[in-house]
Chains A and B, each alone.
Chain A
Amino acid sequence: MNSPNALCFGEEFPATGVPCHVEVSPSGLTVRFQDDARGLGELSLSFSTVSVSAGGLDHDQLVLRWGLTSQVQTLYLKDPAVIRAFRSAAPPVLTKHLDETAATVRRVRSRNRTVWAFMVAVIGGLVLAVWFSTDVLVGWAVDRIPVEWEKRLGQSAYQDFLVQQTVMKEGASVAAVHEISQRLLEHILDNPYTFEISVVKNDVVNAFALPGGYVVVFTGLLEQAKSGEEVAGVLSHEFNHVLERHGLERIVKQLGVVAVIGIILGDQQGLAGVMKQVGVELLSLKFGRAQETEADVTGLQLLHRARIDPDGMITFFQRMSEQEQGRVEWLSTHPMSTARAERLKKEMALLSKTVPEPFTFQWETVQASAGAVRR
């Protein structure tokens, strides 16, 4: 018994059809049924008794019908070899109609292909536009993302991160970080964000800011810093990544393609999945050089407005770059260079001279509090 290559349907047949094997001969077809329970066994059909059409989901199946109107039986052929054999053996009267159907199917297919090709071209064009887009396009897109949305994105990553960490709730180091932050925040103009700053027990020398104003400072950074002004330099820089929406710029740039396709197709489920993925990657986000320069310059200006000695920023950057080795993680996202320090010095020279206002805390106390963590 050959394996079934067709399905037979009829009044008393199951809706899924009965599998059968079809063979084409010069005079007609032989249909063999696998299970003989129905007493069907073998069926011979001459070409003159069948009518032909195309059927199935994609109109790619050959449909043969025969019998009286009340007892019509239908055969669905899908196997290309059998369909070819049928078309070459059957008389032209039968296949003429089939050829017309085939032509229609081909027309529909080619139209579908054209539509798809058009869609792909449009999407591709947009993808390219975004891919090669200048910062102008990214900026345009970022401008359209509501701050609320950005906050939610940053907040979820922030909370996910803090869950795995020990957050310091009180002590001199927390108070100092808050005093520094407060001084800076008071001097930010048109601030749409409510900054949240956490001090995390960890001797890694690092600090980072998530979109929406969620900032983390590690105790390791406080230990390495020689003054509140140095910490203020790092914080001012990080705050400006947030204010300039650098995180969103990176995300839009990286996700350009996928996001655009998602938006075009209105596929929110897919987009939500992508966004979830982004949440994870936010923590390892690396900014571009232009963004770093921007954060340096605007950070310096903020320090200046807040009357915090901007020298701290530069000395800290330089000292950290000299250390090079060790666990200065901040350096991995902020490569230090003489060019960077030079640039900062030049910017500083442009600022008007002001008398810095010192912080109220004793730096030694802060460091002791941060360092006590380890002991």
Chain B
Amino acid sequence: MKSEILYPGAFPMARVELTAGEAIKAESGAMVASSPTIDVESKMEGGFLGALSRKFLTGEKFFFQTLRASRGPGEVLLAPTVPGEIVMMELDGVNEYMVQKDGFLAGDEMIKLDSQMQSLSRGLLGGEGFFILKVSGKGTLLLNSFGAIHKIELKPDQEYIVDNSHLVAWSGTTSYNIERAASGWVASFTSGEGFVCRFRGPGVVYIQSRNPGGFGAWVRQFIPVSE
């Protein structure tokens, strides 16, 4: 699999070249166009129950698709739903990444995707839902964000505080705690001020420069309310 990111910036698209027989996993609905040699296999990553729970508990799409160059070499064009950057990373087989449910765009066939149940407090307060995607293995991974992607590198024991709704992915060697953003728990709940994650290195944290929920709220104020 050879990939390149076209039109980097707000409206990028990923072009993935596949040799005969090669395949990638992609978020269902990410495919924009492809060579006629590419077949789409819908597989339920993480088993039926995994897929079902993902769908109902996180509202996520039921399937990841496997796009296979089963009838000869070809290429696939992929794009995320929302405007925002795509980043390409090479997984080395040792580093694992946790990816927020909308952050995954595509990955090498050899990459393993697991939905991981979070601890209750992280699930309730974290804003990523109860399931996040654990990505491991060796190969290329394509992530997408709402807005631009910013990478934060953390040395061992270095800490950084990130607003929950801006999280895209973070490495498995980091640990994090959920903390309230406002001065009190009650204030947090009532003011709608969300929660923040205090990350502790080593590792990297990818954040997005825009917050989907915040954007949604901003758009909503312009939509006329019908009686």
Where the two chains meet, the residues of A that have a C-beta atom closer than 8 Å to any C-beta of B are 3-7, 9-11, 14-17, 19, 55-57, 59, 61, 65, 72, 74, 76, 78, 112, 115-116, 119, 258, 261-262, 265, 267, 269-270, 272-274
Contact = CB atoms under 8 A, between A and B. Distances in A.
Nearest to B134: A57
Given A15-B203, A56-B172, A270 B93 contact: no
Residue among B120, B129, B156, B174 with the highest chain A CB neighbour number at 10 A: B156
B59 interface: yes
A19 B96 CA distance: 12
B173 A76 contact: yes
A7 B173 contact: yes
Contact of A55 (B55, B57, B153, B175): B175
B155 A11 contact: yes
A15 B201 contact: yes
B56 A270 contact: yes
B156 A72 contact: yes
Nearest to A21: B94
Given A7-B95, A15-B204, A57 B130 contact: no
A9 B155 contact: yes
A116 B94 CA distance: 29
B98 interface: yes
Contacts of B176: 57
Contact of A269 (B59, B98, B174, B175): B59
Given A4-B92, A7-B94, A15-B201, A273 B59 contact: yes
Minimum-distance CB pairs A-B, first 8:
A15-B153, A269-B59, A270-B59, A9-B202, A74-B156, A19-B94, A15-B204, A4-B94
B61 to A, nearest CB: 9
Interface in B152-200: 153-156, 171-176
Contact of B202 (A74, A119, A273): A74
21 contacts: A4-B92, A7-B173, A11-B155, A15-B153, A17-B203, A19-B93, A19-B95, A55-B175, A57-B174, A57-B175, A57-B176, A61-B172, A72-B156, A76-B173, A112-B119, A112-B120, A261-B56, A265-B130, A267-B59, A270-B57, A270-B58
Secondary structure class of chain A's binding surface, majority of residues: mixed
Interface string B98-122: 1000000000000000000101100
Nearest to B154: A15
A220 B210 CA distance: 55
A14 B175 contact: no
Contacts of A270: 55-59
Contacts of A78: 94, 96, 172
